[in-house]
Amino acid sequence: MNPMIRKSYNTTLFNLVCFVVCAFICIASHASTQGSASSYRPNVFYSGIVYLGNFDQIKTNYPYALSINQAINAVGLLDQRFNQLIQQSSPQHFNLHFGLADLKKGQSIAMALAFESENVSTEVIGNNRKIIVEAGAQLFFFDFASMTLIANIPLSMAKNHVVAKELNYQEQLPRLFSELYLGLDGGDSLLTMAFNLLGSAKINLSKPLRFQLEQVSSSENVQVFMPQNITAVRFNQFIGQYFSARLAHQYNISVLPFTKGYAIGNQMAGRFSNGSVFNLNLPTPDYVFSLELLDLKKAPYKDDLMYASRLALSMSQQHSGKVFINEVFQYAVPKLVSANMTQIDDWSAFHDVIEVLIDELVEQLGSPNKKWFKSHAKDNQAYGKFTVKQELFSAK
């Protein structure tokens, strides 16, 4: 072979080998980096069982949980049981710690089982009274460095019971809620449901935008249907928590809490060794929502009753004030009734239809559906307005 050709051949072969080796090193390095990133487990500090809402509403909102969670050796019964459950196994995607966190060491993520509601519904059917007790909660992950809700898993459980209509059903409620929260003879409970969900919970820390529901109001047309033990302030607080939780859970985005309240500002903050954590303020959101509950209506429908709600939803950009959504929506659901029902719980039906409408509105933010808007939006331009910022709510 000609020496010049041999030299050129050897040079080409050498360059090819170098290229292959470098490519292999890059691929291996990338795979190692990816593996390292995927195996990263954030440190999360458990903050116990907390109660969402303002301090002055807690006794009214959660009478049965508070009664059950009476302190035994400085630790409540619900806290004791949930502690026992979550120490049985470690979550898959993060490290759960039980000591005090230190913000100065970058330990900023707190997790709590946050109660959000207790509800009782009764109806009289013939000679019997049907009782439904229901509790709602959230696995609540809050980052005190960014002061944002970074992960959220809503959960709820209901229990049905039937007694003779002449009995004082209220005497049954403490026992029914105890069975709901703690279980009966090893059966399912709200605590075991929360424990099972915690095992697979994920936290996404890379969320550049912040969202917040900053205002909820209820018109007089809505307030007139509220039971005596439920005020507009109390119900608006619940709706604020409900919408924020579903938004965070549906899209895995950073949501500022509707209000810091007692849970974040006191109970969860108390799990840090830094006193300054109590003085942290919520940051400014990038996008804000407002909800106005406009109307509730009930009407006969065939042999049943139809319950309907109407609300206004708006979304705007905080720094520019530009409004992207400002629309009115309605929803209706039927309620099965029988001829021998002599007492019907209208409020529980209205409560359900409001929740369903909010659930579906949250879904429409990321996946607008023309057919849905045709059925539920007052303005036929609403669909187009939802598509303008659809990319903000990319699927998790």
The structure's pTM equals: 0.81
Q: Is 106 left (phi over 0), alpha (psi -120 to 50) or beta?
A: left
58-83 tens-digit pLDDT: 999 999 999 999 865 667 899 999 99
Query: DSSP 3-state assignment of 150?
Result: strand
What pLDDT is attached to residue 39?
Answer: 67
What pLDDT is attached to residue 23?
Answer: 44
Amino acid letter, 149: L
Domain 208-251+286-396 has CATH 3.30.70: no
Q: How confident is the model at residue 28 (pLDDT cuts 50, 70, 90)?
A: very low
What CATH class is the domain 42-207+256-269? Answer: alpha beta
Q: Do 208-251+286-396 and 42-207+256-269 have the same topology in CATH? A: no
Q: Is 135 left (phi over 0), alpha (psi -120 to 50) or beta?
A: beta
Burial class (CB in 10 A: 0-12, 13-18, 19+), 111: buried
Neighbours of 80 (CB within 10 A): 15
Q: Give the residue-averaged pLDDT of 336-351.
A: 87
- Reading the block at residue 150, the tokens are 């970074």
141-158 tens-digit pLDDT: 999 988 888 888 999 999
What is the 8-class DSSP label of residue 336? Answer: -
Amino acid letter, 228: Q
Burial class (CB in 10 A: 0-12, 13-18, 19+), 387: exposed
The CA angle 51-52-57, to the nearest 5 degrees, is 85
CA distance 249 to 355: 15
The domains of the chain are located at 42-207+256-269, 208-251+286-396
Q: Using alpha carbons, select from 375, 331, 336, 374 the residue that is nearest to residue 353.
A: 331
